[in-house]
Structure 1
Amino acid sequence: MRVVLDTNVLLVSVSSRSRLYWLYESFLASEFILCVTTEVLAEYAEIMTRHMGSEFCDATLDAITSAANTRFISPTYRFNLLNDPDDNKFVDCAIAANAVCLVSHDRDFLPLRAIEFPKVAVVDTAGFRELLTASQ
């Protein structure tokens, strides 16, 4: 199952003290395929360094980039479905990867529900957990 995680979801899931740590553990256990682009990784690095420090960020990004279940995606088209370019990079990654969903708690992704084509399913972490459980 191909998935895109927005930065905030990744950020809150990588700490072993987080109630959402199950998500990062599921990734490490290869229970889903994480799809990323260079732009997505750059945002992960920027925000994670700011909030958790460069050492933690480097270790986490090393784990992500070296994992067999990470797919590096190169979108060939920018759909610009949302007003915020920072959000569009996740949408473009999801479309190019043919991802099952984009996992986010960000309300800025809600307009995607009304767009018929290209269709991008946006789910929160609870919805993703249900998808993950159903796929196993």
Structure 2
Amino acid sequence: MQIVLDTNVLLTCFSSRSKTHLIWQSLRQGKFNLCVTTEVLAEYEEIITAQTNSELAAAVLDAILHLPNLRLVTRYFKWNLITADPDDDKFVDCAIAAGADYLVTEDKHFKILEKIPFPTVRLLGEKTFLEMLRQL
């Protein structure tokens, strides 16, 4: 299963006390492939550093970069589909370039994708993704 994780999903799942920690555990166990671009990785680092500290951000990024189920994707086209928050486009572009099965997010700006017939980007919320992971 090819997955793109929005930054807020990643930010909440790596803490062992988080209700979404199963996402991090499943990622570390190789239950899905994490698809990223260099732009996505840069945002992960920026936001994790801002919300926690640079040491934790470096540790999380190091763990991600050493995953055998990490797929580093090259974006060849900028789709510009999220007009309400263009900064979110990097996740959409990554999902399209990777042919990802799902983009996992709780961000309401991504809902516009449900109305766009092409290119298709399938969204999952954290709760639904967690239910899927529990069945693997």
TM-score normalised to structure 2 length: 0.95
**In the alignment, what sits opposite 1:115?**
116
CA distance in 1, matches of 2:86, 2:116: 17
Q: Which residue of 1 aligns with 2:11?
A: 11
Residue 92 of structure 2: aligned partner? 91
Give yes or no for the alignment of 1:75 onto 2:75: yes
% same residue: 49
SS at 1:35 equivalent: strand
How many residue pairs match? The answer is 135
Matching residue of 2:104: 103
Distance 1:48 1:57 in 2: 5
Which residue is 2:46 aligned to?
Answer: 46
Whole-angstrom CA distance in 2 between matches of 1:66 and 1:131: 24
Q: What is the distance in 2 between the residues matched to 1:76 and 1:67?
A: 24
Residue 89 of structure 2 aligns to a residue whose secondary structure is helix
Unaligned runs of 5+ residues in structure 1 are: none
Q: 1:28 corresponds to which letter in structure 2?
A: R
Q: Give per-residue Cα distances to partners, 1:22-49, cap 9 Å, x unaligned.
A: 1000000000000000110110000101
1:44-79 CA-partner distances (Å, limit 9, x unpaired):
000101111111111110010110000000110111
Give 1:128 deviation, angstroms.
1.2
Post-superposition Cα deviations, 1:64-117, rounded to whole Å, max 9, x if no partner, equal 011000000011011111112211000000000000100000000000001111
Secondary structure of the structure 2 residue equivalent to 1:71: strand
Q: TM-score, normalised by structure 1?
A: 0.95
Amino acid at match of 1:108: H
Q: Aligned AA for 2:88?
A: D
| Shift >4 Å, 4+ stretches | none
Partners of 1:13 and 1:113 lie apart in 2 by 25
Is 1:31 aligned with 2:18? Answer: no
Structure 1 CA distance for aligned equivalents of residues 132 and 75 of structure 2: 25
Q: C-alpha distance in 2, partners of 1:49/1:69?
A: 24
RMSD, aligned CA: 1.0
